[in-house]
Amino acid sequence: MESKGQIISRYKTYHYIENLDKYVGQEVTLRGWVYHKTGKGKLQFIQLRDGTGIVQCVVFKGNVSEEVFENAKDLTQESSVIIKGTVREDPRSPSGFEIDVTDLKVVQLTRDYPITPKEHGDTFLLEHRHLWLRSSRQHAIMRVRAAVVKAIRDFFDGNGFKLMDSPILTPNACEGTTTLFETQYFDLGKAYLSQSGQLYAEASAMALGRVYTFGPVFRAELSKTRKHLTEFWMVEPEMAYFDLEDDMDLAEDLVEYIVQYVLKTCKKELETLERDTTKLEKVKRPFYRMTYTEAVEWLNKNNIPLIRKVGGKEIEEPFPWGEDFGAVQEEAIMEQFDKPCIIHHYPAKVKAFYMKRDPENPELVLAMDMLAPERGGEIIGGSQREDDYDRLLERIKEENLPIEAFQWYLDLRKYGSVPHSGFGLGIERTVKWITGAKHIREVIPFPRMIYRIVP
């Protein structure tokens, strides 16, 4: 990670493992937990973790008091300790340093830590997510996640965008009514957890020009896949006067920036994750682009069928124009690419009510999805928005959405309506792709899925 500064509290100077290069030959005090310990005769080797990294601390009997040596011998996995010692450069150690211990204080001796270095099943680990986060793989993923979020904020803040938070309790749906979480809102009727901050971002963009909203969103998704959560984080830029082309250009710029930032600042983390970064290094503009219609032609030319379940049986048929892509189609299309591909101009019937019709073909909307290579799937969904009052009203009616709840949204098409566009990038999908994590539940601190709300 980039930030290398030490934190100076008013009371103590804290030393951190990630800053040890500044203290070679000097004495430091490290505060952390025992990741692993081995020992033999007069030597004890403690792998100490402090949240910023792991370093080996060597306790030699001759260098410490008898009591300290005995305490070191008794240490167990995840015991909390404060260790004093001298920093020595050691090219053989993964951190590049070792600590020659001079003093050691046990804060708490841990008994029977449930997660041991041996293999554990997924369910067990998920039940112990509050502890699983301490293991080096999860630790590395969380640091990449933090870097992705920082890259996003830096990108927008540095490019003239203003952060405008959207509410989470909302009176209306944004992305279809089938995935809404609903709650009673005092005497005012039903409220819904936001599926997307977009509609509010549109209002914000009409006030501030270029904005982004960034927060948790909720989908009562019935899909139990490696890519779906019921609560996830999304960043959604929205730009007045941007058309679909501008929108796609911005999406490319953002994704290039994120990936290159992570490559630059998270080398150690990606190494811990054993991530082959050769493809990530190629994530530079321009990305690939194709229309939905071209994608369908490609699928049929390459015999990637649509698989339908009819009466318990799976039936394969040529991919029909007008059907939405599933993971099978997305992954097949992306197999040929070493960087992301934007698919644009989708059939109106598979996309949301707020998307603008293609003036050249009313069956299409000015929509785009960005797919990531290496089975990353859809990381971005976006569009140019319908800016005509009558056509938007018509779409709201067609979808049977309650007009009253959308009156404020329709107002935006009444008072100084302008062409505008935006998109949403899923944080977890992005982190999953960049880290190469197998399942999306590994890339959010506390995943929420159909069958899991604890811890």
Interface residues for Mg ion in 81-140 (CB under 5 A)?
A: none
Instruction: State the DSSP string of 204-251.
Output: HHHHHSEEEEEEEEE------STT--SEEEEEEEEEET--HHHHHHHH
In order of 72, 104, 408, the CA distances from 27 in angstroms are: 19, 13, 63
Minimum distance of ligand 4AD from residue 394's CB (angstroms): 20
Give contact residues for ligand 4AD (rule: CB under 6 A).
174-175, 196, 198, 219, 221, 228-229, 232, 234, 236, 378-383, 422-424, 426, 428-429
Instruction: Tell me the closest approach of the beta carbon of residue 314 to ligand 4AD, in angstroms.
Output: 24
Distance CA 370, CA 287 (A): 9
Say which entry of ligand 4AD, Mg ion, none residue 228 contacts (CB below 5 to 8 A, set by partner kind): ligand 4AD
Query: What is the SS3 assignment for 189?
Result: coil
Residue 394 phi, psi dihedral angles, 5° rounding: -60, -45
Distance from C-alpha of 426 to C-alpha of 438, rounded to nearest angstrom: 16
Select the binding partner of residue 339 from Mg ion, ligand 4AD, none (C-beta < 5 to 8 A, by kind): none
CB of 267 to ligand 4AD, least distance (A): 25
CA 319 to chain centroid, in Å, comes to 31
Rounded Cα distance, 448 and 279, in Å: 30
Smallest gap, in angstroms, from Cβ of residue 326 to ligand 4AD? 14
Q: Which does 165 bind (CB under 5 to 8 A by kind): Mg ion, ligand 4AD, none?
A: none
Contact of residue 382 among ligand 4AD, Mg ion, none (CB under 5-8 Å per partner type): ligand 4AD
The contacts found for 105-109 with CB under 8 angstroms, 24 or more apart, are: 105/81, 106/71, 106/75, 106/79, 106/80, 106/81, 107/79, 107/80, 107/81, 107/82, 108/79, 108/80, 109/74, 109/75, 109/76, 109/79
Q: Which is nearer to Mg ion, 373 or 381 (CB)?
A: 381
* Residue 409 token pair: 């949204």
**From ligand 4AD, Mg ion, none, interface partner of 196 (C-beta below 5 to 8 A by class):** ligand 4AD
Element (H, E) at 86: strand 80-89
Of the candidates 82, 85, 80, the residue with the CA atom closest to the CA atom of residue 23: 85
Q: Quick one: 53 or 381, whose CB is closer to Mg ion? A: 381
**Which CB atom, from 17 or from 229, has the smaller least distance to ligand 4AD?**
229
Q: How far is the CB of 426 from Mg ion (least distance, A)?
A: 9
Q: CB of residue 232 vs ligand 4AD: minimum separation in angstroms?
A: 4
C-alpha distances out from residue 360 to 260, 356, 357, 363, 365, Å? 37, 11, 8, 9, 10
Residue 186 Ramachandran class (φ > 0 left, ψ -120 to 50 alpha, else beta): left
CB of 378 to Mg ion, least distance (A): 6
| Smallest separation (angstroms) from ligand 4AD to the CB of 423 | 5
Contact region for Mg ion (CB under 5 A) — 45-53, 134-142, 311-319, 378-386? 378-386
Residue 367 beta carbon to Mg ion: minimum distance, rounded to whole angstroms:
9
* 194 touches, from ligand 4AD, Mg ion, none (C-beta below 5 to 8 Å by class): none
Q: How many CB atoms lie within 10 A of CB 119?
A: 7
Per CB under 5 A, the list member of 347, 373, 376, 381 interacting with Mg ion is: 381
Nearer to ligand 4AD, 53 or 197 (CB): 197
H/E run at residue 202:
helix 198-208
Contact flag: residue 447 with Mg ion (CB under 5 A): no
What residues form DSSP beta bridges with 183?
Answer: 191
Of 132 and 423, the one with the shorter C-beta distance to Mg ion is 423
Q: Least Å distance between CB 230 and Mg ion?
A: 16
347 binds, among Mg ion, ligand 4AD, none (CB under 5 to 8 A by kind): none
Quick one: what does residue 424 bind among Mg ion, ligand 4AD, none, with the CB cut-off 5 to 8 Å set by partner type?
ligand 4AD
Between residues 85 and 377, which has the closer beta carbon with respect to ligand 4AD? 377
Measured at CB, which residue is nearest to Mg ion?
381
Nearer Cβ to Mg ion (50/369) = 369
Query: In the complex with ligand 4AD, which residue's Cβ is closer, 161 or 423?
Result: 423
Tell me the three state secondary structure of residue 437. coil
Of 156 and 423, the one with the shorter C-beta distance to ligand 4AD is: 423
- Residue 99 or 396 with smaller CB distance to ligand 4AD: 396
Taking CB within 5 to 8 Å according to partner kind, which of Mg ion, ligand 4AD, none is near residue 56?
Answer: none
Element (H, E) at 43: strand 43-49
Residue of 343, 371, 344, 366 whose CA lies nearest to 354 = 366
Q: For the CA atoms of the chain, what is the radius of gyration?
A: 26
Contact residues for Mg ion (CB under 5 A)? 381
